[in-house]
Structures are given as structure tokens and as C-alpha cells.
Amino acid sequence: MAREYLSNSVLEKLPYHLRDFILKQPYDSYTAQNQAVWRYVMRKNMDYLKSTAHESYISGLQKAGISTEEIPRMEGMNRILKEIGWAAVSVDGFIPPNAFMEFQAYNTLVIAADIRTIEHIEYTPAPDIIHEAAGHAPIIANPEYAEYLRRFGEIGSKAISSAKDFELYEAIRHLSIIKEDPNTQKKDIQEATEQIKAISKNMGDPSEMAGIRNMHWWTVEYGLIGDMKAPKIYGAGLLSSIGESKWCMSDQVKKLPYTINAAKVEFDITKPQPQLFVTEDFAHLSFVLEEYANSMSLRKGGLRGVQKLINSKNLGTVELCTGIQISGKFTELIADDYNRPIYLKTKGPTALAYKNKELIGHDKTYHLDGFGSPIGKLKGINLAIENMSPTDLEAYGIYEGRTTSLLFEGGVRVEGEIITGKRNLQGKIILISFRNCTVSYGDQVLFHPSWGIYDMAVGESVISAFSGIADPNSFGQQFEVPKEKTHKIDYSAEQLELFQLYEEVRKMRQSKLIDSVRLKTIFGKLVLNFPNDWLLVLEIYELLYPEESSDTKELVKSHLENSYELESIKHLIADGIKLINEESY
């Protein structure tokens, strides 16, 4: 990660595996038209949202270091955000959901580096800097909401995904990338849209991550707050969308009270939302989040939790009642007649930890080929191994140097010479290592003496199962960085000429040295060579507006009001003119 990002102390705490997603913000690649798009959206939103957004929004823009005049720089935002205990990083579009959530858990906003094109000025399905910086950042200035966001990331990053979830994520990412590329063929967009629909129809039972994803959408992205009849906006998707921020307040959008049922309500990123959820206050968001967390394997553990990890085919962690944590890809599970797990197994690199800190000597290079362990009590002995006193352990032959045979209630047998053991902070044994060890279940050999030292995790039950690694800093990368990158637009010579005209006008506005003659020349070039461009014409009108008597001003205004046939452009122009009029008084 580039050193400039480490200026914010919050970022120093990020696990190394998350840093692979961070990009240096490509600030020099933003065109003058990009800057004009940012400015138009921000000024329009500020005008509208001052009366419809949550009270934290307007003041939060300043607290987050966000100006209406230009696209924010990450280093500038970070210098200011650190005052409220947060940071911001630039990434390439959508990143895997668990990674996104984990960034939040570390008080870090993930901000897509790109900005929407002028064709999608009102709304874009792709994450962009308007959505992330102008939508998410201001509300975190509210301490109660900031804590909800952090806690959501902490819980959400542990949600177990299904194998289909990642397939859907990649399809959505692909669609968002090609939709923002003006060179994409319509048939390609249609094919990508149909692919998402096909995947969505065959997702199987909803995963924990699906529920988290829905809750995130209906709160962090599209949430309303306050009175059901006159709610305010706090969701970033609404705060950053000119079109949807107005649409959502109409009677055409159904308003529902926010409850845990929102976790079951799917959404379509390609369309305006038919309903939205209203929370009474930010505290209620945290209440519902905890309610959902109580249903997750993170807190329930058990057979179902382990099975979810196996089905996910992703890295996950199982925690036993002693606190020992096993992190890897779980592939096998043996259960007894009462649906209790009695043996679990991983395949490939596995690490052991306690309280999210890797046990010395038990990293993924040591357990390179996987790990397996019985779970439960010994047969005929009511006292679990972890609860045995030194006297009990000696009485049952469980001590160093002793060759023993341990038969568990579930039928798993461990036979070998005990080498050593590890205890937790309470003095309970959490790990026993054997040499010359055979582990069997009936006729099935689960571990053979020729395989080396056998390390047995100790614990009567599985109390937690969650996505990701217990100690990510020691384990390394656990999320694959997307292979498909956001398309970098190749601009034509004609487009570059247009951007140069935008830059001229921008410099006039910044310097306050308005050259009316030059503006008239630029306007003439636009009419002749760029008849579809309306935003720069609007900016020219803004600079000419203070002139009390100007033929050029009236000519530009007439052109704006009469020369664009598309309704989608007409209302954008009308809103822009109205804003210029209002700002002049």
C-alpha cells in the first residue's frame, strides 16, 4: 500500500490482506468534465437535501472534508476523517462483500476511484466517488450512526456466503463495469443483465451474507429515518442520486417500518426501488442488527454452522467452547445421531488461534495439508477434557509421555503418545499433541501415524462458525482481488478537445477572471462541434449570469431551453438554471 495512505493512523490498523485492494487515487485522470459532473451533482443535491436529508448530512460534508466544487482527494479526506476516528481508501469498483464489510469494521470507508459519466449523472449502478464520498462519508460524522456502520462491518464480515454468492457478486461487478463504459455494446449489457437474473433465480437457500447484503442495502445504501409519513434520507445510494433522492419521497415508493424482515427482501440494482424501509432512529438500526446476528452461525455455532462453512467452499473459522479457533477451508464433517458434530476436517492451509491470535507453531505452513479433530466428551466420562483438573487428567491417563487411547462419545478414537499440550488463559487445555498417533472412526482411518504429529483441538462443542480467518494478519490474503478491472475509457481526439473547453471554463470560475468574449467563442464551438453537450453550456450560462445586459447570456439561455429534445436532459437543464437563479439571490 502506498505510504501516503498511512498518514491516517486508522489505516495503520488495517490487516495486510485488505491492503491489496487499495489503489492510489487516479486523481490526474479525472477530466474537467468529470469535475463538472461532480460539481453539478453536489450542488443539486445540496440544494435538495438541505431539507430532505438527515440533519447530520450537510454539516457532515464539511466534517468529512468534502467540497461541492471539486472531486475530493483521499489524502485530504483522511487528514480530516481521522478527527472522527475514520479513514477512506480508494478501490477499483465493487470489492468482495466480506472484504467491504471488514474495511468498515476497521472504521475505513471504501471509495470507488472512478466517477460516473455524464450519461449516468443522475444514477449509476456502479459504485463511484460521488456515491461513496458524498453519500457515505458525511453521515459517519454522526457518532451513533458511525458506530452502527462499524458494528455492521464487524458482524457482516463474519457472515457466511454460499458458493453462489460470489458468482452473483462477480456478475454484478461485471455489469456495473460495462454499463459505465460508453463503448460497451447494448447486447453485452443485455447479456450481463440476463446472467444476473439467471444466477438470482438459482441461488438456493439464502445465505447469511445474502441477509447481510439486503440489510446493508435497505439501511446504509437506501435507508430512510424518522417519521413514517415524512422521513429523512440517510442512505448513501439516495444521498448520491439526484433522481432517486426525489423519487423516494413520492407516494409511488412504499414506505415500510424497518425490521429484521428486511433481511429477506431482495433488491435490483438496475432499477429504482419500489419500496424503502424507515427506521425510527439510528439506535433501532443497531437493535435489528444484533437481532440478526443472534441468528448467525457466528453466535450459534453447532453442526449447522460447520455445514454452512463446508457449503461455502470459502475460508472460515470454527471456534470450540475452550476458545481455540480453527481457520481454513472446511471439507468434511461427521455428526452423531443427535446432529452434533463429532469430527471436523479442513483441507489445505489451516491455522490455529486463540482469541483471534494465532498460536505459536500452528500457522498455515505447519498445517499446510489441513487439520482434523474430534469434538465432544470422552465416552463414559461426564467431565469434558477441558474441565479436568491436573488430578483428573492424571487419573484418566492424559498427561505428557503417556501412551493413551481416548474414545469419544461420538465413536472417534485417538490413540498415541502425548507429547505436550497448550492451555488457555483460564488454564484449561485447548490443544493436545500426539506422536505415533492413529485416529479412527469405526473402520475409517482419519489420521495415520506416518502422517507425522497429530494435534487435537480440545472442546466439547462448536460455539461459533464464521467467514474469514481468526488472525488475518498472520494468515495472509483470504479474498481474491477481482481479476476484471474497471475499464479505463479511451477518449477520442474530439472528446479530448471538449474536455479542454471544460478546463478553460473551470479555470475562469476558479480564478474569477471571466472572459465573456472567450466564453462566447467556446459556446460557438459547442453548438457547432458538440451539439449534445449541455453541461458545459450550463456552466457558461452560470458565469455569464451576473451580467445584467448580455446578448450572449440570452443566446446561451435560449439554446439551453430549446435545443435539447430528450426529457431526461431537459429537466437536468431546468434544475441547473433554477439553481443558478436561486444562488444569485
pLDDT tens readout for residues 360-369 = 999 999 999 9
Contact present, 295 and 215 (Cβ < 8 Å): no
Asked if the structure places residue 258 within a domain, the reply is: no
What CA–CA distance (Å, rounded) separates 243 from 440? Answer: 64
Report the distance separating Cα 585 and Cα 583, nearest Å: 6
Identify the residue whose cell numbers are 412504499: 254
Q: What is the pLDDT of residue 126?
A: 73
* pLDDT in the model for residue 1: 41
The CA distance from 365 to 349, in Å, is: 7
pLDDT of residue 327: 97
Residues 8 and 102 in one domain: yes
Tell me: do 36 and 160 sit in the same domain.
yes
pLDDT at position 479 is 66
Sign of dihedral through CA atoms 324, 330, 336, 340? positive
Residue 21: is its pLDDT beyond 80? yes
CATH number for 129: 1.10.800.10
Q: How confident is the model at residue 477 (pLDDT cuts 50, 70, 90)?
A: low
Q: Pairing mode, if any, of strands 224-226 and 108-112?
A: unpaired
Based on the domain organization, do 406 and 550 belong to the same domain? Answer: no
Nearest-angstrom CA–CA distance, 502 and 482:
34
| Contact (CB, 8 A) for 246 and 48 | yes
- 503, 465: one domain: no
Confirm whether 229 is domain-assigned.
no
427 contact partners, CB below 8 Å, separation of at least 6: none
- pLDDT of amino acid 7: 55
Calculate the CA 440 to chain-centre distance: 43
**pLDDT reported for residue 48:** 87
What are the contacts of 288-295 at 24+ separation with CB within 8 A? 288/215, 288/258, 288/259, 288/260, 288/262, 289/148, 289/151, 289/152, 289/155, 289/215, 291/260, 292/155, 292/211, 292/212, 292/215, 292/260, 292/263, 293/155
Closest to 136 measured CA to CA, from 240, 212, 35, 228:
240
3-state secondary structure at position 312: helix
With a cut of 90, say whether residue 206 has pLDDT above it. Answer: no
d(CA 194, CA 550) in angstroms, rounded, equals: 52
**Domain shared by 380 and 451, yes or no:** yes
Residue 101 vs residues 271, 382, 507, 570: alpha-carbon distances, Å: 24, 42, 39, 39
What's the residue count for the chain?
A: 585
Report pLDDT for 312: 93
- The pLDDT tens digits of the residues spanning 311-340 come to 999 999 999 999 999 999 999 999 999 999
The reported pTM is 0.88
Average pLDDT for residues 542-554, to the nearest whole number? 90
d(CA 56, CA 564): 37
- Residue 379 CA: distances (Å) to CA of 334, 384, 413, 460, 546: 17, 10, 10, 12, 90
Q: How far is residue 561 from each of residues 538, 573, 576, measured CA to CA in Å?
A: 10, 8, 11
Residue 277 within a domain: no
> Is the residue at 52 inside a domain?
yes
pLDDT exceeds 60 at position 3: no
pLDDT tens string 288-318? 999 999 999 999 999 999 999 999 999 999 9
Tens of pLDDT, residues 50-86: 889 999 998 898 888 889 999 999 888 888 888 889 9
Q: For 379-388, 433-442, 474-483, which range has the lowest pLDDT when averaged over its residues?
A: 474-483
DSSP collapsed to 3 states, 423-449: ECCCCCEEEEEEEEEEEEECCEEEECH
The reported pLDDT for the residue numbered 169 is 84
- 512 and 386, same structural domain? no
**Residue scoring higher pLDDT (164 or 460):** 460
Residue 6 pLDDT > 60: no
Confidence band for 454, pLDDT divided at 50, 70 and 90: very high
- Top-confidence residue, 539 or 566: 539
110 contacts 14 by C-beta, under 8 angstroms:
no
**Distance separating alpha carbons of residues 133 and 80, to the nearest angstrom:** 13
407 or 172, which is more confident? 407
Q: Mean pLDDT over all residues of the chain?
A: 91
The last residue of one of the domains, among 177, 199, 217, is: 217
Among 163, 195, 217, the domain-final residue is 217
Do 468 and 516 belong to one domain?
Answer: no
Interval 355-399: pLDDT, tens = 999 999 999 999 999 999 999 999 999 999 999 999 999 999 999
Residues 417 and 306 in one domain: yes
Tens-digit pLDDT profile for residues 33-52: 999 999 999 999 888 888 89
Residues 116 and 176 in one domain: yes
E-strand spans in 235-337?
Answer: 254-257, 275-279, 316-320, 324-335
- Report residue 329 as a C-alpha cell: 477451508
In a domain, 286, yes or no: no
- 452 and 571 together in one domain: no
Q: Is residue 543 part of a domain?
A: yes
> DSSP 3-state assignment of 415?
strand
The pLDDT of residue 113 is above 70: yes
Cβ-proximal residues to 139 (8 Å cutoff; 6+ apart), any chain: 54, 56, 57, 60, 145, 234, 236, 239
In a domain, 231, yes or no: no
Which of 475, 508, 528 lies at the terminal end of a domain, its last residue?
A: 475
The torsion defined by the Cα of 438, 442, 445 and 446, in degrees rounded to 10, comes to -80
DSSP state of 450: G
Confidence class of residue 201 from pLDDT cuts 50, 70 and 90?
Answer: confident
Q: Say what the pLDDT of residue 16 is.
A: 85
How many CA atoms are closer than 13 Å to the CA of 340, on its beta-carbon side? 16
Verify that 471 and 354 share a domain, yes or no.
yes
Has residue 236 been placed in a domain?
no
Write b or e for each residue in 318-349: b if 16 or more Cβ atoms lie within 10 A of its Cβ, otherwise e: bbbbbbbbbbbbbeebbbbeeebbbbbbbeeb
Structural domain containing residue 11: 3-217
Q: Give the three-class secondary structure for 82.
A: helix
State whether 344 and 457 are in the same domain.
yes
How many independent structural domains does the chain possess? 3
